[in-house]
Amino acid sequence: MSPASGRPEETLANGRGSCRDTAWLLVQTLRQLGFAARFCSGYLIQLAADIKPVDGPAGPQADFTDLHAWCEVYVPGAGWVGLDPTSGLFAGEGHIQLAATPDPVSAAPITGLVEKAATEFTFEMKVARLAETPRVTRPYTEPQWRAINRMGALVDRALEAGAVRLTMGGEPSFVSATDRDAPEWKTEALGPAKRRIAGRLLRRLHALWSPGGALQYTQGKWYPGEQLPRWALYAHWRNDGEPVWRDPALLASDDETDNATAADARRFALRLAERLQVDPGCAIAAHEDIHYYLWREQRLPAHVVVEDAKLKDPLERARLARVFAQGLAADVGTVLPLRRIEAGGARRWQSGRWFLRSGPLFLIPGDSPIGYRLPPASLPWAPEEAIDAEPVRDPFAEGLALPPRRALCRGQGLAQRVVEQRQPEPGREEPEVVRTDLAVEPRGGMPHVFLPPVTRAEDWLDLVAAVEETAAEAGQRVFLEGYLPPYHPGLAHFSITPDPGVIEVNIHPALSWGELAGRTETLYEEARQVGLVAEKFNLDGRHVGTGGGNHVVLGGPTPAESPFLRRPDLLKSLVGFRHNHPSLSYLFSGQFIGPTSQHPRVDEARSDSLHEFEIAFRRVWAVQETPLWLTDRLFRNLLIDVTGNTHRTEFCIDSSMTRQTRAGAAGSSSSAASRCPPTRG
């Protein structure tokens, strides 16, 4: 035990002291400043953290308790506030106060005199947990987790015996561990730090999950009321082990800067055109719309400058400053008309020349990549039915093997390099015009390569291989953006996207419980390393999950193998069983339930839903061969919320059969009522 506190002058002179010394020093300091302060003595209980912090002290390795001293200061309106100068923290729930006195002498546990005696005086303090309640950071004990793993293995064997071919993924969501009160981690979908942190997580997961893959920064969802679409970060790789992108050092990140200019972007585009064996002369310089920005400048108040326009809209304000700073006549990037064709028994790249009424290529005003801001209405007109557009390959067709990497980006001769195009004439249709394009532009000093839409995955792979070889030749790191590859069973991906208040990671499907558990543990650990956590605190102090989607996604290895498409009675059984056992709808749900939640039950939507479900159920029989489209046609318009939204429902099948989006024929079903665990602990 430490002796009674010395004088504050001695503590300062020595530069050290016991907890009683530092507490008494702080009491005296506060009193000198005119605050009422008192000395406190008692116990300090510290429990080992469930998850160790990435930065800073790790804290105690085991639970312990000890005698301790601190001080309290009286703050008008707040009362007595505990301050622990030894640890540099406010007093918390682990500070158990036994005495609060004006002077440390009257707070000593033992005082007085005793004559010499042959007695040893000892004391012992220990703390034990009476019960372990499940919590966000430790939902399971180790024995419970081992039991769950054993059960997962049994379920895997049962599914394999029944030839179910079930896969499982998820959409865990995370928030910042250090900036929880920022709008982007509470209510806003976008913010200044989200994409940078998401990019760091993407690269860490890419090294573990998708070596040899390519990273693509593309456009995400666009909701009403949002000025710009959200971003989405993807990692694409091949299931056969062939690399999509060989050198990850050539893939740029938001943490890096460079000094690439529009001239560098043009040189890159011309080199890429030569590698694709199309005429580099078809490349066009892109410009911001001079006429629009001059008109916009004229509408500003007379006493402001365009670089500081005082506009209410911050995006418009920044856009005007950026455009005028770089110069209205400056090139902002290079556009190469490009499409894939079938000619002479081989697939080749083809380009063409664009004839525009304005002469130069002026972009649509905005902040998106230039590949999204081209003026398609300015191209020579042709009716839709006259344009020879290649259809996207049916995701339910028998998948062809992808070509090996060494066979990609190999020219097929110089034929069909350029579409011979005459000067447009009034009244003449122009169906042969190349209407898709590749674009290269510098942003943040880094070249961004915008990939055009293609209809086959092997075409996308061929183009990415050409971009990498061009980047290696130029010694230049690049961002890949633009259109995603078409579906192919030989291609896999995971993605990271923003949602209000969270970052969401869309995990690729796992074929077994062990694979899913290992992938989930990896994700939570890597998220922790970049400063993300899967929990937050309510205003009342409750420790809860992030509040994001956290959906669990079920499906099959391919759309044609999806149990929900092969066996509509499976979805019928799940919906019926959950409806007849309401407690299951809430057992694994989040804080919000009911008609306005993310996962309303089927009887919480429209009043006539149950009657319509009875009709749909009569069209489904167990163990019967059915067309793959039946599940979607029967249940799509029934599994909805009160507004008709197919995404906000207990069982979501909007990614089962629709052809409107790339992921719309995945044969998957997600359940927002069964949320991903915050962490295993």
Task: Tell me the per-residue pLDDT of 306-358, one tens digit each, with 9 for 90 and over.
Answer: 766 666 777 777 777 778 778 778 889 999 999 988 877 788 898 988 888 77
What is the rounded average pLDDT of the residues 19-34?
93
User: β-pairing, 479-482 with 446-451?
Assistant: parallel
pLDDT of residue 662: 46
* Residue 665 lies inside a defined structural domain of this protein: yes
116 pLDDT above the threshold of 60: yes
Cβ–Cβ < 8 Å for 230, 496 = no
Q: Which helix (H) or strand (E) holds 235?
A: strand 231-238
Residues contacting residue 607 through CB under 8 Å, at least 6 positions apart = none
Cβ count near 320 (within 10 Å): 21
Q: What is the mean pLDDT of the segment spanning 430-436?
A: 79
- HSE, side-chain direction, 13 A CA sphere, residue 231: 22
pTM given for the model: 0.85
Q: In this model, does residue 4 exceed pLDDT 60?
A: no
* pLDDT tens per residue, range 334-343: 999 999 888 7
CB 652 within 8 A of CB 639: yes
The proportion of the chain whose per-residue pLDDT surpasses 70, expressed as a percent, equals 90
Among 241, 232, 233, smallest CA distance to 213 is for 241
Containing 145, the helix (H) or strand (E) segment is helix 142-161
Interatomic CA distance for residues 3 and 111, integer angstroms: 10
- Tell me if 367 is assigned to some domain: no
Least confident of 63-72, 257-266, 537-546: 537-546
d(CA 626, CA 622) in angstroms, rounded, equals 10
Give me the pLDDT at residue 384, please: 73
Q: What is the pLDDT of residue 411?
A: 56
Task: Measure the CA–CA gap between 585 and 257, rounded to whole angstroms.
Answer: 48
User: 151: number of CA atoms within 13 Å, CB side?
Assistant: 6
pLDDT of residue 415: 45
Angle at Cα 408 formed by Cα 402 and Cα 409, nearest 5°?
150
How much is the pLDDT for 666?
65
Domain boundary among 76, 107, 138: 107
Q: Look at residue 368 and tell me if it is in a domain.
A: no
CB 218 within 8 A of CB 231: yes
Confidence class for position 397, pLDDT limits 50, 70, 90: confident
User: Who wins on pLDDT, 463 or 346?
Assistant: 463
* Distance from C-alpha of 126 to C-alpha of 105, rounded to nearest angstrom: 26
Measure the CA angle with vertex 251, ends 248 and 257; round to 5°: 130
Separation between Cα atoms, residue 649 and residue 575, nearest integer Å? 11
Whether residue 485 lies inside any domain: the answer is no
Residue 110, pLDDT above cutoff 70: no
Residue 588 confidence (pLDDT) above 80: no
* Dihedral pair phi/psi, residue 226, rounded to 5°: -100, 130
Out of 437-441, 523-527, 546-550, 670-674, pick the least confident: 546-550
Last residue of a domain, one of 44, 77, 107: 107
In a domain, 336, yes or no: no
Helices (H), 186-261: 194-209
Asked if residue 494 is part of any domain, the answer here is: no
Tell whether the model's pLDDT for residue 680 goes beyond 60. Answer: no
Nearest CA among 629, 625, 560 for reference residue 397: 560
CB contact set of 678 (below 8 Å; sequence gap of 6+): 136, 137, 139, 534, 535, 545, 546
User: Cα separation of 441 and 370, whole Å?
Assistant: 7
Q: Which of 630, 681, 503 is closest to 138 using CA atoms? A: 681
Residue 638, domain extent: 551-671
Beta strands per DSSP E along 469-561: 479-482, 491-499, 502-510, 532-533, 535-537, 543-545, 552-555
In the listed set 68, 84, 107, which residue is the last one of a domain according to the structure? 107
The reported pLDDT for the residue numbered 632 is 85
**Of 487-496, 614-623, 671-680, highest mean pLDDT:** 487-496
pLDDT in tens, 252-299: 999 988 899 999 999 999 999 999 999 898 999 998 888 888 887 777
Residue 566 backbone dihedrals phi, psi, to 5 degrees: -75, -30
Handedness of CA 375, 378, 380, 384 (dihedral sign): positive
Q: What is the pLDDT of residue 416?
A: 44
Total residue count of the chain as it appears in this document? 681
**In this structure, is residue 52 part of a structural domain?**
yes
Query: For the chain, how are helix, strand and coil distributed in percent, rounded to 5?
Result: 30, 20, 50
Give pLDDT, residue 146. 93
Number of compact structural domains in the chain: 2
Using CA atoms, how far apart are residues 60 and 49, in angstroms rounded to an integer? 8
User: Residue 441: enclosing H or E segment and its boundaries?
Assistant: strand 437-443
**With bands split at pLDDT 50, 70 and 90, how would you rate the model's confidence at 604?**
confident
DSSP three-state, residue 321: helix
- Tell me the mean pLDDT in the region 30-35: 94
Among residues 484, 456, 443, 438, which one has the least CA distance to residue 215? 484
Q: List the beta bridge partners of residue 536.
A: 544
Closest to 200 in 3D by CA, of 241, 255, 160:
255
Q: Look up the CATH number of the domain holding residue 34.
A: 3.10.620.30
Looking at residue 671, its pLDDT comes to 75
Average the pLDDT over 157-173 and give the result.
Answer: 90
CA–CA dist 620, 634 (Å, integer) = 9
Q: Which two tokens stand for residue 124?
A: 């012992």
So what's the pLDDT on residue 584? 84
**pLDDT value of position 681:** 41
Residue 228, in any domain of the structure: no
The mean pLDDT value of the chain amounts to: 85
User: 480-496 burial string, b = 16+ CB within 10 Å, else e?
Assistant: bbbbbbbbbbbbbbbbb
Contact 411, 277 (CB under 8 A): yes
CA-based nearest residue to 476, from 285, 252, 284: 252
